[in-house]
Structure 1
């Protein structure tokens, strides 16, 4: 049996391009190139029906290490807590006040991009900040 070497993370959302561009800013990702044969995403969208235009978007890690992120439009809004969420690892190896300061600085940057801070989980040495992206999907600054 062969093990899986690559995977992508898919987000259901109302505005795929908007959410994808938010996550590009969060993670330092880049917008994936348009499908083969198209110079721009706009060129690609113009070949699709009005209903299909803007129905999905993708971004990727420019280093090729992280997973591709795929965003697909769905008709329903978010109604419950995510069963899976991303942990954005900005404080790896840090503890105590140094870790907390690093998380708080990144939280401030992400709030300016449209994220929402929900709560700080802190036990004196380990911490994370629970947040929501621009469509309400939870993620943690860890």
Structure 2
């Protein structure tokens, strides 16, 4: 039986992290429920107090084929290295210097949106094509691959 997958991030700022990952992946922040023109209007109707309006956010693939990312506020901060991380395929089909140049360009773009560059791993054929390790604005590691 096929199942849909949602990827959930525990974080301090769901709205901010949702905006970051929408930029990284070409997603969009999920719109409000039907019948509402904005999230503010929907949250007002639901009686959600202002202090809880950034408790959750989500981003979706505009084409509907990739998984939804859900961001939920938690009280604790990130403690250790991620055991699971996202590989953002930023240089499909490229190899060598051309691949690394494409990854460097994407790393620079993402840094301008709040990412942190952690390390660069050079190509080591035949198995390692090279990648760049990054962190999102809350320190969650991901790779540009």
- Which residue number corresponds to residue 15 of structure 1? 13
- Taking a change above 3 Å as real, the CA distance of residues 30 and 81 of structure 1, as seen in their structure-2 partners, is same
User: Structure 1 residue 50: deviation in Å?
Assistant: 4.1
* Count of aligned pairs: 140
TM-score, structure 2 length as denominator?
0.91
| Partner of residue 2, structure 2 | 3
Choose which of 126, 139, 142 in structure 2 pairs with 1:139. Answer: 142
Match for residue 61 of structure 1? 61
Task: Kindly provide the CA deviation profile for residues 2-42 of structure 1, in whole angstroms up to 9, marking residues without a partner as x.
Answer: 221x2111110000000000111111101111123432111
Moved over 3 A (4+): none
CA distance in 1, matches of 2:61, 2:143: 19
Q: Is the 8 A contact 1:96 1:124 kept in 2?
A: no
8 Å contact kept, 1:107–1:141: yes
Residue 91 of structure 1 contacts residue 103 of structure 1 at CA under 8 Å; is this kept in 2? yes
1:124 Cα deviation after fit: 4.2
**Which TM-score applies when normalising by structure 1?**
0.92
Q: How far 1:51 moved relative to its partner?
A: 4.4
**Is the Cα–Cα contact under 8 Å of residues 123 and 131 in structure 2 kept in the other structure?**
no
Unaligned runs of 5+ in 1: none
